[in-house]
Amino acid sequence: MCMELLKNSKVLVGEAELDNRVSELAQQINRDFAGEKLIVVGVLKGAFMFMSDLLKKITLDTEVYFLKAESYGNGTETSGTVKITKDIETDINGQNVLLVEDIIDSGFTMREVFKLLAKRNPKSLKLASCLSKPSRRKCEIDIDYLGFEIPDKFVIGYGLDCAEKYRNLPYIGYIETE
């Protein structure tokens, strides 16, 4: 299905809208952590574009790390099992940590990632996610900095893929299935 995707795709969140919202989130983060150091942890691969845009607007003393969590095959449905396949290379004990995700769908991925990092005793642990599909949630997740709530549609672009394609689109697109 992914091959034919782009032909039937529509813009859900455009570039200007993304840019404005990312600026607002960065301002909020700059205010909330004023005078503090922030460890920013991106969840690969989907978060890379949102994280990069966000970081350009964050004026704090930051360090940047990535981890990789896998919960999806090549389809569009979650499996419910989450594997951490790449960990961060720093000790977060006593640090302010901001996790950055592309999208919270069922919530399973973030629940596992959050549990893993919370066990390491950070001073604070917050979550920024570009998108959220609340209607698909299977476990409760608090999103401290949310870009956009979206309906139950499979989205691509701005880091999000379908079978590894379309991550480079500068906007969030969706596929009209009916």
Residue position matching structure tokens 């006593």: 94
> Least distance (Å) from ligand IMP to the CB of residue 31?
27
In angstroms, the CA 1 to CA 135 distance is: 23
Show the tokens assigned to 155: 């989205």
For residue 105, indicate whether it is catalytic: yes
- Residue 147's binding partner out of Mg ion, ligand IMP, none, with CB under 5 to 8 Å set by partner kind: none
Show the tokens assigned to 98: 């901001």
Comparing CB distances to ligand IMP, the nearer of 95 and 106 is 106
User: Phi and psi (nearest 5°) for 25?
Assistant: -65, -40
Does 128 interact with ligand IMP (rule: CB under 6 A)?
Answer: no
User: SS3 sequence, 2-66?
Assistant: HHHCHHHEEEEECHHHHHHHHHHHHHHHHHHCCCCEEEEEEEECCCHHHHHHHHHCCCCEEEEEE
Does 105 interact with ligand IMP (rule: CB under 6 A)?
Answer: yes
Show the tokens assigned to 23: 């600026």
Does 173 interact with Mg ion (rule: CB under 5 A)?
Answer: no
Does 46 interact with Mg ion (rule: CB under 5 A)?
Answer: yes
Site residue total, ligand IMP (CB under 6 A): 17
Pattern 7-36, ligand IMP, x by CB under 6 A: ------------------------------
Q: At residue 33, what is the residue type?
A: F
**Which residues in 34-73 contact ligand IMP (CB under 6 A)?**
46, 71-72
The residues that bridge with 129 in the sheet, in sequence order, are: 101, 146
Comparing CB distances to ligand IMP, the nearer of 7 and 31 is 7
Residue of 105, 144, 152, 161 marked active site: 105
Site of interaction with ligand IMP (CB under 6 A): 46, 71-72, 78, 101-109, 154-155, 160-161
Catalytic site positions? 105
